[in-house]
Structure 1
Amino acid sequence: MRKGVKVAIVGSVFAAMVGGAGYGGYNFVTALNGGGGGTEKRTGPPSADEVQETSEKFFAAWEKGDSATASSYTNDEVDAGKVFGSFVVDARIDDVRIEPGKPTGTGGRTVPFSVAATVSYDGKSKELAYKSELTVVRGKTTGRALVDWQPSVVHPELKAGDTLFTGEAAAPPIEAVGRDGTVLTKEKYPSLGPILDTLRERYGDDAGGTPGVELGIRHTAAEAGDTTLLTLAEGKAGKVETTISGRVQAAAEKAVKKYAESSVVALRPSTGQVLAVANNRQDGFNAAFQGELPPGSTMKIITAATLIDNGVTSMNGPAPCPDTATWQSQTFKNLPGLKADETPNATLANSFMRSCNTAFIKLIDEGPMNDASLTEEAQQRFGLGRDNWKTGIVSMDGKVPPSSGPNRAANAIGQGDVLMNPLNMASVTATAITGQFRQPYLVSPELDDRQLATAKGLKAGTSSQLKQMMRLTATQGTAADVMSGLGGDIGAKTGSAEIDGNAEADSWFTGFRGDVAAAAMSEGGGRGGEAAGPMVVDVLKAGG
Structure 2
Amino acid sequence: MSKKGWRRGVLVTGGVLTVGVVVAGISVLWPSDKKGPPPSAAATSTAEQGVTAESAARQFLTAFANGDARTAASLTDAPDTAEAALRDTREALRPASVLTSVTSVSVKDAAASATAGYSVTWQLGGERTWAYEGSMEVVRTDRWRVRWAPGVVHPKLAANQKLALRVDQIGPAVVDPAGQPLLAWDVGVAVLLDRRQATNLDDVVTKLSTAISPVDAKVTKQSIVDGLATVMSGQPYEVATLPEAEYQRIKPQIYNLPGVSFQSRSALRGVDPELRSYLMGSMHKALEGKDAGSRGWRVVAVDDASGGETVLHQQEGKATTPITATLRSEIQKAAQRALAAQPKAAALVAIAPSSGEILAAAQNAAADQLGDVALQKRVPPGSTFKMVTASAVLQNGLATPDTPLPCPGTTRVGARTLPNENRFDLGTVPLRTAFAASCNTTFAELAAKLPADALPTAAAQLGLVADYDVPGITTLAGSVPTSPEDAQRVEDAIGQGRVETSPFGMAVAAATVAAGRNVSPVLLRGRRTSVSGAIAPPPATALPALRGMMREVVTSGTAKELAGIAGLHGKTGTAEYQDDGRSHGWFVGFRGDVAFAVLVMDGGSSKPAVRIAGDFLNAVG
TM-score by length of 2: 0.56
Give the Å deviation of 1:460: 3.2
Give the Å deviation of 1:318: 2.9
Correspondence for 2:322: 239
Q: Is the 8 A contact 1:516 1:543 kept in 2?
A: no
- The aligned amino acid for 1:196 is M
- The aligned amino acid for 1:387 is D
Q: 2:362 aligns with which of 275, 278, 293?
A: 278
Give the Å deviation of 1:385: 1.2
Correspondence for 1:489: 567
Change in 2 beyond 3 A, CA 1:283/1:66: farther
Q: Tell me how far apart the structure 2 counterparts of residues 348 and 525 of structure 1 sit (CA, whole Å).
A: 27
Correspondence for 1:265: 349
SS of the residue 1:304 aligns to: helix
Query: Does residue 349 in structure 1 map to residue 432 in structure 2?
Result: yes
Query: Does residue 393 in structure 1 map to residue 480 in structure 2?
Result: no
Q: 2:600 aligns with which of 496, 499, 522?
A: 522
Give the Å deviation of 1:194: 1.6
SS of the residue 1:319 aligns to: strand
The 5 A counterparts of 1:311-330 are 311-330=397-416
Q: Tell me how far apart the structure 1 counterparts of residues 359 and 398 of structure 2 sit (CA, whole Å).
A: 36
Give the Å deviation of 1:442: 1.3
Q: 1:256 aligns with which of 332, 339, 342?
A: 339
SS of the residue 2:517 aligns to: coil
Correspondence for 1:467: 547
Give structure 1 stretches of 5+ with no counterpart.
1-63, 68-89, 96-116, 130-143, 177-183, 214-232
Query: Does residue 370 in structure 1 map to residue 451 in structure 2?
Result: yes
Query: Per-residue CA shift, 1:441-477, capped at 9, x if unaligned?
Result: 2123x33x55346944333331111111111110100
Give the Å deviation of 1:211: 7.0
Change in 2 beyond 3 A, CA 1:362/1:239: same
Query: Does residue 195 in structure 1 map to residue 276 in structure 2?
Result: no
The 5 A counterparts of 1:427-438 are 427-438=508-519
Give structure 2 stretches of 5+ with no counterpart.
1-33, 38-64, 71-89, 96-121, 125-162, 166-186, 190-199, 228-236, 239-260, 298-315
Q: Is the 8 A contact 2:188 2:264 kept in 1?
A: no
Q: Tell me how far apart the structure 1 counterparts of residues 69 and 370 of structure 2 sit (CA, whole Å).
A: 28
- The aligned amino acid for 2:443 is F
Q: Is the 8 A contact 1:495 1:528 kept in 2?
A: yes
- The aligned amino acid for 1:424 is G
TM-score by length of 1: 0.63
- The aligned amino acid for 1:491 is H
Correspondence for 1:384: 464
Change in 2 beyond 3 A, CA 1:333/1:199: same
Correspondence for 2:613: 536
Query: Per-residue CA shift, 1:463-501, capped at 9, x if unaligned?
Result: 1111111111101000001x1342x21111100110125
Q: Would you say how many aligned residue pairs link Structure 1 and Structure 2?
A: 384
SS of the residue 2:361 aligns to: strand
Greater strand fraction, Structure 1 or Structure 2: 2
SS of the residue 2:406 aligns to: coil
SS of the residue 1:460 aligns to: coil
Q: Is the 8 A contact 2:464 2:478 kept in 1?
A: yes
Q: Percent identity?
A: 28
The structure that has the greater radius of gyration is 2
The 5 A counterparts of 1:201-212 are 201=288, 204-205=289-290, 207=291, 209-210=293-294
Give the Å deviation of 1:168: 6.2
Q: Tell me how far apart the structure 1 counterparts of residues 482 and 68 of structure 2 sit (CA, whole Å).
A: 54
Correspondence for 1:152: 209
Correspondence for 2:135: none
Give the Å deviation of 1:407: 2.4
Give the Å deviation of 1:277: 0.6
Q: Tell me how far apart the structure 2 counterparts of residues 257 and 429 of structure 1 sit (CA, whole Å).
A: 23
SS of the residue 2:543 aligns to: helix
Give the Å deviation of 1:235: 9.3
Q: Tell me how far apart the structure 2 counterparts of residues 492 and 208 of structure 1 sit (CA, whole Å).
A: 41
Q: 1:407 aligns with which of 444, 466, 488?
A: 488
Give the Å deviation of 1:187: 5.1
Give the Å deviation of 1:304: 0.1
Q: Is the 8 A contact 1:174 1:239 kept in 2?
A: no
